[in-house]
């Protein structure tokens, strides 16, 4: 069996993506989250492993001592996990900013590194999907630093696509609009309504639809799509 790695699979979007992969594709899921500490599950098509992506140096051990030793072949990678440090650039805190870059940029890079190495080892024409944000193209107060990490993922995507397309390995990005998740739960209702007014449909983005797009891009159904950023944002104005 081939597996798709989903980071942050204990969160709202990550869990929905994992659910849809298991129900709509032939692939298994390897979930990576800090929530799985002391309760890792290795059963059937859904394997859960503890991973702290604020420490990207730990990723190598996951691939060598968890995946490869157990002959877990990687077909796909979904870089969904994220840390949001929201503040004005004039208040930038180096410690928080560094943590955000480790989780949002450096760890996805290292995960891509080892996922592609596994694909090459097994001659797999695999697929990588990064989760970005509409904040990369639409300004929001307090999100400049967060948006910069997601913009890095979008730049990474089209260059990885160029580097490895010759081996049949694809890389795309999904940039969702505002969704009600653990990361956005502290935004009050008044501000939420303001955000909704900035999209054509005047409503929040359904997590289910974002997950459907991600699963489509990671699956073989999108075999001719690579190097693209797909915005699922209800048409942000």
Q: Which residues are catalytic?
A: 146
The strand order across the sheet containing 127-131 reads 41-43, 46-50, 28-33, 2-7, 73-79, 127-131, 170-176, 229-232
Buried b (16+ CB within 10 A) or exposed e, 96-133: ebeebbbbbbbbbebbbebbbebbeeeebebbbbbbbb
SS (H, E, C) 4-67: EEEECCCCHHHHHHHHHHHHHCCCEEEEEEHHHCCCCEEECCEEEEECCCCCHHHHHHHHHHHH
């Amino acid at each position: 069996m081939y597996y798709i790695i989903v980071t942050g699979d204990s969160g709202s979007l990550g869990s929905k993506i994992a659910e849809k992969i298991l129900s709509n594709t032939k692939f298994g899921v390897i979930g990576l989250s800090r929530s799985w500490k002391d309760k890792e599950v290795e059963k059937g098509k859904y394997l859960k492993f503890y991973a702290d992506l604020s420490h990207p140096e730990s990723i190598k051990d996951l691939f060598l001592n968890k995946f490869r030793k157990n002959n877990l072949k990687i077909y796909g990678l979904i870089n969904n996990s994220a840390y949001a440090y929201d503040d004005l650039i004039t208040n930038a805190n180096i410690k928080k900013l560094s943590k955000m870059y480790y989780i949002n940029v450096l760890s996805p890079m290292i995960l891509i590194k080892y996922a592609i190495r596994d694909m090459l080892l097994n001659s797999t024409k695999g697929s990588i999907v990064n989760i970005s944000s509409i904040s990369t193209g639409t300004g929001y107060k307090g999100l400049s630093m967060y948006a910069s990490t997601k913009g890095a993922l979008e730049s990474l995507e089209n260059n990885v696509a160029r580097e490895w397309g010759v081996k049949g390995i694809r890389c795309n990005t999904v940039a969702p609009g505002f969704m009600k998740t653990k990361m956005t739960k502290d935004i009050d209702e008044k501000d939420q309504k303001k955000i909704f007014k900035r999209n054509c449909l005047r409503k929040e983005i359904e997590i289910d639809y974002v997950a459907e797009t991600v699963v489509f891009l990671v699956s073989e159904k999108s075999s001719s799509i690579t190097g693209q950023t797909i915005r699922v944002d209800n048409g942000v104005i």
